[in-house]
Amino acid sequence: MSDQPFVLVAPVAGWVLPLAEVPDPVFAAGMAGDGVAIDPTGESLHAPCDGIIALMGGNRHALTVKSPFGDVLLHVGIDTVRLGGAGFVLRVRDGEVVRAGQALLEFDLDLIARSAPSAATPVVLAGQRPARISKRQSGRRVEPGDFLYAVEVAVADAGVIAVPASASQLKPAVRRQFRIPFEHGLHARPAAQVAAALNGLDAEVLLTVRGREANARSVVAMMSLGAGCGEIIVAAATGRQAEAALDALDGPLELRDEAQFEARPLIQAALPVHVPVPGSRLTGLIAARGLAVGLAAPLQDADPPVGPAQGDATEERSRLVTAIDQVKLFLKGLGTSKQGAQRNVLDAHLALLADPQLLHEAEIRLGEGASAGLAWRTALRSAAGALEALQDPRMAERRADLLDIERQVLRALSGLPVNAHAQMPDRAIVLAGELLPSQLLGLDTKRLAGICTAEGGATSHLAILAASMGLPALVAAGPAVRAVAANTPLVLDAEAGFLLVDPPAAELDRIAKLVASRAQANVRDEAAAQQPAITRDGTKIDVYCNLGASEEAAPAVSAGADGCGLLRTEFLFQDRRRAPDEAEQLERYQAIAAALSGRPLTIRTLDAGGDKPISYLVLPHEANPALGLRGLRSSRIHPELLATQLRAIVRVTPAGQCRVLLPMVTDLDDVRAVRAQLTAIAEERGVTVPPLGVMIETPASALLADQLAGECEFISIGSNDLSQYTLAMDRLHPNLAARLDALHPAVLRLIGSAATAGQNRGIEVGICGALASDTEAVPVLIGLGIRELSVVPTLVPRIKGLVRALDSTSCAALAHQALSLANAQEVRALVRDWSGADG
């Protein structure tokens, strides 16, 4: 049978090396496949051939191009898995069809040279197909697109991309569960150990984790699982030596107890969704605080059909472009009446619609005969899947934006209005599986009272929009939300985090009166928002705002904010390849300072790490990131980033408007180190040293608050982290959200300790976490000695109005009583009783 040659081109500029010279036994010994390596001089990786992208789970340093002649593994650097994705920016999505020469990813070569054993980049033929390399480049410099090597494969096998065997194709003779013990998961070297353990055995083994499958003899397939340290993986073996094969895996992998394995089914059956009975309480995550009473308005908006092709590829492309332009026109028109967060979301959707890669991927599908609708849906679903695969909750929540523009374009293709206008009763509480941003913006806000969704995240665009519109919103309340019948009476408590279904009439009437009373109070509060917040007995409370973007400052001032108690500077550092320089930071800080018109601006230094990863920031792999290099800890191991930020802050004018706030402080060493650096920078510039403050976010800093208060000018308490570290509950864990309450007496005692330390030293103590925006917490906080509340901008008027109704002496008695209670629920009950008696 004749052979058909295929050519691979160089994916990156550099010098070609034989695999034997790569300082890694997996590649040097050919365990991952045959090929060559390139010692790179460039920082952009391109496709060596046409094919389909397969990403390695959440890893960014390596990927596979599935080609007609096999899988081509591209692995940038050696042991770069330890970088945890830092320094790598993906330009493709899982499942995306690419052409030779197309950009796949960018990487920071300097970072790799400093942090990895070698920057050598293997390009290996790793598939299981009967192919061989017939001619290869070696010992010379190449540019992207230059010949790299030729592959010969039998004609009968060419042109077909292999599909891995599924569990249904195997006879499940034996199965066992194993734990992955490798620190960085199942990457190249441990995958090679697993494959080597099966050498010489007559058996086929399929590994399964999180619904993904891989042949245990394929290093690349196992890497593609993206399986991390500690994950449980199922091995299913068939063949004459199936038992021996699984025995052999109990070397590189850790065998789990058989009794545990047999006691739990591998695939959990979907739980039935029960219709909530009257009085049912559905708990969820608070996306936007508030309280509402109304009628259920289930959003019934089925996915638009993709429709058949109405012409050839050229005609279908024209239909698609016309539909995209129609949606752009709609969004631009909608944007003329929006501002702030709502306008930002619409601008983000317009940017997605203009993304050339999305249209390019759709065009590939059109060329394969797909209709305009199918091509667009395929492209958007591929992009959404890639975001979820990044294992970054913040990025995964952006998938809703992709699904939103998918839906709008499909509606336009179907001849429907871009956005459907749902029929809603007055005081509607909209219920949906996942409410998309454009759906919310298209609803009649005069009839809308609140939102509750079965899915979604607390940092999604839906959450941002709801907060900006003053709408109470709960997300992730579970599938039972979908089963609530239309017009069912509801109470949406987005302060305690639950939806009450068809409550007793007396309860419904009580809360309805409370909501009406609040509405009247809101009118009064907004009218007096620019006035100071002073308690009945003369205690002044500064009501500041938390800001996370430049454009939020002016609306916050209009809402009555006395200043900014927390500027989250992460918005400047995320979603980019390199950190912003001093000039860019100064420009942004100065714009915010100007918008605040001389009011205090508290700038928190970069709070990276944990749940706020920065792609180019080199941090080691951590088994528990929440207890690792977070906040100031990460800044201190990257002093150049901190120095640049401090230099920008001291240049903001007028002098004295800015305060510097340090996140995740543990003890005095942290403060003294930054104090020395800040003083030196200010003296170098010939300006006054800005006030320096610390965040109390850990029990350690709270207990040492008396020491910290002696060496700083102010204290700000971060209740979100303080509560999670004090109560040992992950604040991002959906199953613990209802129990993680910062009004727990243990947390309150630490807040009180910090407040007392500040009072004794004569410095201001404030709180900038979510607890400051919690109306039930405000009297307790004032009673503990807190004199600065930094809150969500839209709540500034309400918090100011609440403060004016309080008496600080009475609040002190309330706080003293709260400290003696057993849990947060008792504290909240106490505050409600006290408010009724006091008011």
Chain position carrying tokens 């397969």 = 54
Q: What is the CA radius of gyration of the chain?
A: 29
Phi, psi (deg, nearest 5) at residue 166:
-105, 165
Residue 592 to residues 178, 545, 567, 586, 634, Cα–Cα distance (Å) = 53, 12, 9, 10, 25
> What is the DSSP annotation of 536-552?
TTS-EEEEEEEESSGGG
Angle at 700 between CA 694 and CA 705, to 5 degrees: 50
Question: For position 797, what pLDDT does the model report?
Answer: 95
Annotation: CATH topology of 281-301+421-492: Glucose Oxidase; domain 1 (3.50.30)
Q: Which of 521, 490, 485 minimizes the C-alpha distance to 503?
A: 490
Where does residue 547 rank: exposed (0-12), middle (13-18), buried (19+ CB within 10 A)?
A: buried
Q: Specify the DSSP element, H or E, that contains 812.
A: helix 808-818
pLDDT digit string, tens, across residues 487-518: 999 999 988 789 999 999 988 888 888 888 88
* Rounded Cα–Cα distance for residues 738 and 51 (Å): 47
* Rounded Cα–Cα distance for residues 676 and 720 (Å): 29
Strands (E), 605-647: none
* Residues that are catalytic: 461, 768
Question: What are the structure tokens assigned to 40, written together?
Answer: 């790179």
Pairing between β-strand 212-215 and β-strand 291-298 as defined by DSSP bridges = unpaired
* Rounded Cα–Cα distance for residues 256 and 90 (Å): 35
Question: What are the structure tokens assigned to 402, written together?
Answer: 């992709």
Instruction: For residue 612, list its beta bridge partners.
Output: 609
For residue 425, cis peptide bond before it (omega within 30 degrees of 0): no
Where does residue 535 rank: exposed (0-12), middle (13-18), buried (19+ CB within 10 A)?
A: buried
Pairing between β-strand 14-18 and β-strand 34-40 as defined by DSSP bridges = antiparallel
Furthest-apart CA atoms within the chain: distance in Å: 96
* Residue 198 backbone class (left: φ over 0; alpha: ψ -120 to 50; beta: rest): alpha
* Rounded Cα–Cα distance for residues 582 and 646 (Å): 9
The tally of CA atoms less than 13 A away on the side-chain side of residue 524 is 12
DSSP state of 496: T
Instruction: Cite the DSSP H helix spans in 147-285.
Output: 188-197, 219-224, 242-249, 258-263
Q: Distance between terminal CA atoms of the chain? A: 92
DSSP state of 597: T
Residue 595 to residues 162, 557, 561, 564, 681, Cα–Cα distance (Å) = 59, 8, 12, 11, 25
Q: How many beta carbons lie within 10 A of that of residue 788, not counting itself?
A: 26
Q: Which of 438, 411, 452, 407 minimizes the C-alpha distance to 298?
A: 452
Q: Specify the DSSP element, H or E, that contains 822.
A: none
Task: State pTM to two decimals.
Answer: 0.57
Contact status, residue 792 vs residue 545, Cβ threshold 8 Å = yes
* Rounded Cα–Cα distance for residues 396 and 409 (Å): 21
The tally of CA atoms less than 13 A away on the side-chain side of residue 343 is 9
Domain boundaries, the chain: 3-157, 167-263, 281-301+421-492, 313-413, 536-616+626-838
Instruction: For residue 135, list its beta bridge partners.
Output: 150
Superfamily of structural domain 536-616+626-838: Phosphoenolpyruvate-binding domains (3.20.20.60)
Q: Which of 183, 115, 228, 182 minimizes the C-alpha distance to 618?
A: 115
Question: For position 736, what pLDDT does the model report?
Answer: 56
Contact status, residue 619 vs residue 86, Cβ threshold 8 Å = yes
Angle at 803 between CA 802 and CA 807, to 5 degrees: 115
Contact status, residue 194 vs residue 185, Cβ threshold 8 Å = no
* Rounded Cα–Cα distance for residues 108 and 812 (Å): 55
Q: Which of 248, 216, 36 minimizes the C-alpha distance to 142?
A: 36
* Rounded Cα–Cα distance for residues 102 and 775 (Å): 54
Instruction: For residue 54, list its beta bridge partners.
Output: 64
Question: For position 444, what pLDDT does the model report?
Answer: 83
Residue 416 to residues 328, 380, 690, Cα–Cα distance (Å) = 15, 19, 57
Chain position carrying tokens 């070397």 = 251
CATH code for the structural domain at 313-413: 1.10.274.10
Q: Which of 477, 410, 465, 472 minimizes the C-alpha distance to 436?
A: 465
* Rounded Cα–Cα distance for residues 425 and 294 (Å): 9
Amino acid at 664: M
Residue 798 to residues 287, 395, 830, Cα–Cα distance (Å) = 18, 32, 21
Residue 252 to residues 24, 179, 255, 314, Cα–Cα distance (Å) = 18, 10, 10, 53
Question: For position 150, what pLDDT does the model report?
Answer: 87
Q: Which strands sit side by side in the sheet containing 291-298, from one edge to the other?
A: 281-283, 498-501, 489-493, 291-298, 428-432, 448-453, 473-475, 285-288
Question: For position 160, what pLDDT does the model report?
Answer: 34
3-state secondary structure of 3: strand
The contacts of residue 305 (CB under 8 Å, 6+ apart) are 373, 410, 414
pLDDT digit string, tens, across residues 382-399: 777 766 655 555 555 567
Residue 76 to residues 105, 149, 151, Cα–Cα distance (Å) = 10, 18, 22
For residue 745, cis peptide bond before it (omega within 30 degrees of 0): no
Question: For position 392, what pLDDT does the model report?
Answer: 52
* Rounded Cα–Cα distance for residues 656 and 556 (Å): 20
Q: How many beta carbons lie within 10 A of that of residue 390, not counting itself?
A: 20
CATH code for the structural domain at 167-263: 3.30.1340.10
Annotation: CATH topology of 3-157: Glucose Permease (Domain IIA) (2.70.70)
> What is the DSSP annotation of 290-334?
-EEEEEEEE---PPPP-----S-HHHHHHHHHHHHHHHHHHHHHH
Contact status, residue 236 vs residue 171, Cβ threshold 8 Å = no
3-state secondary structure of 17: strand
* Rounded Cα–Cα distance for residues 346 and 440 (Å): 12
Q: Which residues of the chain have pLDDT under 50?
A: 1-3, 155-172, 258-272, 611, 622, 734
* Rounded Cα–Cα distance for residues 28 and 38 (Å): 13
Q: Specify the DSSP element, H or E, that contains 748.
A: helix 745-761
3-state secondary structure of 234: strand
Phi, psi (deg, nearest 5) at residue 296:
-65, 130
* Rounded Cα–Cα distance for residues 642 and 655 (Å): 20
Instruction: Cite the DSSP H helix spans in 156-240.
Output: 188-197, 219-224
